[in-house]
């Protein structure tokens, strides 16, 4: 859990600095910052999506995951949670619709960016296993997230800081899973595990969808694709159990 705690601290510090800077920036500069972050998110998403060894797995995962997400309306649940955080901790702006929407947008966007990626999954699991490499990977992620949170908070507001709740729940849960379930796996084997690779690829596709939102090209309900992150490893495990070669030559 040490890496997760470090990640929470850097995001909190970065968000705080971003809020201080953001209040002094004109709106046009804030818009340009968000566009720049959208471009970076797009490149990271494309890079992660290339981790797949069989594009059929991300295809099925996204399709099945989107159906599940739409049926469960995960986007509304995440927005309600963000709204509850804003009402509970947002201060005097609680009744201001614009501030409420900005808070929720910042919270949801930062939560997705910080928690969908290979370092989140591999690093958290290895950190839970007590491997030094896991902490090192999360330390790298923490630095990156710290700078990203500064940029996001300067443009999207205080909701970005509350993404630490999502980081604690997701990365903490993965670290616990690493401690309980993955003991004995080497870091090299874990990084090349098809379960991790295909989950990383699906996460990359979700980041691409998020980039479309940040670039104001399209507004997909990104949160509703999150079940795909569970569908991908389930498909890999099912294919392996059935003796199907998921990475045919």
Range of the domain at 153: 2-241
Cβ proximity of 34 and 214 under 8 Å: yes
More confident residue, 64 or 195: 64
Report the percent of the chain where pLDDT is more than 90.
Answer: 31
Q: Is residue 31 part of a domain?
A: yes
For residue 248, being part of any structural domain is answered with no
Q: What is the pTM of this model?
A: 0.79
Sign of the CA dihedral with 66 first, then 71, 72, and 77 last: positive
Give the H/E segment covering residue 16: helix 2-22
Task: Give the pLDDT score at 159.
Answer: 92
How does residue 33 score in pLDDT terms, banded at 50, 70 and 90?
A: confident
Residues 107-113 have a mean pLDDT of 89
End-to-end CA distance of the chain: 39
pLDDT of residue 64: 97
Euclidean distance between CA atoms 181 and 10, whole angstroms: 28
Computed over every residue of the chain, the mean pLDDT equals 85
Band (pLDDT 50/70/90 cuts) for residue 231 is very high
Q: What total number of domains does the chain contain?
A: 1
Q: 178-204, pLDDT tens digit by residue? A: 777 555 556 566 667 888 889 889 988
The answer to whether the CB of 134 falls within 8 A of the CB of 6 is no
What average pLDDT score do residues 30-55 get?
Answer: 87
Domain membership of residue 29 (yes or no) is: yes
For residue 103, tell me if it sits in a domain: yes
Residue 94: the pLDDT is 47
Is 107 within 8 Å of 160 (Cβ atoms)? yes
Is residue 67 a part of any domain in this protein? Answer: yes
Q: Which residues contact 180 (CB under 8 A, 6 or more apart)?
A: 128
Any domain includes 247: no
Give residue-wise pLDDT tens across range 137-158. Answer: 788 889 888 888 988 898 888 9
Handedness of CA 144, 146, 150, 152 (dihedral sign): positive
pLDDT of the residue at 15: 93
Q: Give SS3 for 202.
A: helix
Does 236 fall in a domain?
Answer: yes
């Amino acid at each position: 859990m040490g890496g997760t705690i470090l990640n929470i601290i850097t995001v909190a510090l970065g968000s705080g600095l971003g809020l201080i800077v953001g209040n002094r920036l004109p709106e046009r500069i804030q818009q340009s910052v968000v566009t720049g972050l959208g471009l970076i998110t797009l490149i990271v998403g494309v890079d992660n999506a290339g981790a797949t060894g069989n594009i059929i797995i991300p295809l099925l995962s996204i399709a099945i995951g989107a159906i599940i997400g739409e049926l469960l309306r995960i986007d509304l649940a995440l927005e309600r949670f963000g709204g509850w955080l804003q009402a509970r901790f947002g201060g005097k702006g609680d009744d201001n619709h614009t501030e409420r929407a900005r808070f929720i947008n910042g919270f949801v966007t930062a939560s997705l960016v910080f928690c969908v990626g290979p370092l989140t999954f591999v690093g958290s699991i290895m950190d839970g296993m007590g491997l030094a490499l896991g902490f090192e990977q999360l330390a790298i992620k923490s630095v990156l997230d710290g700078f990203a949170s500064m940029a996001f908070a300067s443009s999207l507001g205080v909701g970005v800081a509350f993404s630490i709740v999502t980081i604690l729940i997701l990365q903490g849960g993965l670290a616990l899973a690493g401690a309980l379930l993955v003991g004995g796996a080497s870091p090299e084997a874990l990084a090349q595990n098809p379960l991790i690779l295909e989950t990383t690829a699906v996460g990359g596709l979700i980041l691409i969808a998020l980039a479309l939102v940040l670039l104001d090209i399209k507004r997909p309900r990104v949160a509703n694709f999150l079940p795909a992150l569970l569908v991908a490893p389930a498909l890999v495990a099912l294919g392996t159990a059935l003796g199907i070669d998921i990475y045919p030559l």
